[in-house]
Amino acid sequence: MLEGGPGDFPGRIVAIDPPGTRELKIPYLAGYEHFQATGRSEETAEGTLPVYEWWERTELPG
């Protein structure tokens, strides 16, 4: 479960591989959105999911 980041970011529920990963780097437009594990979880229709909070964006060179 992703919190924060761009308002138009698609999909707030993403697969994590491997499970337990502390940081996520997700490609979006001309860069990456970075999320960190919060230690919290949230009940969803898909079950109990770990919550990751947005912390920065990096741009691709170009």
pTM: 0.88
Instruction: Confirm if 5 and 31 have CB atoms less than 8 A apart.
Output: no
Q: Which residue has the tokens 């337990």?
A: 20
Q: What is the pLDDT of residues 17-29, one digit of tens each?
A: 888 899 999 999 9
Domain ranges in the chain are: 2-32+45-59
Total residue length of the chain: 62
In the prediction, which pLDDT does 33 show?
Answer: 97
Q: What is the pLDDT of residues 20-62, one digit of tens each?
A: 899 999 999 999 999 999 999 999 999 999 999 999 999 998 7
| Residue type for position 57 | R
Going across the sheet that includes 2-3, the strands are 2-3, 47-59, 31-44, 23-28
Q: Cα angle at 5 between 17 and 55, to 5 degrees?
A: 70
Of residues 57 and 7, the one with the higher pLDDT is 57
In the prediction, which pLDDT does 4 show?
Answer: 96
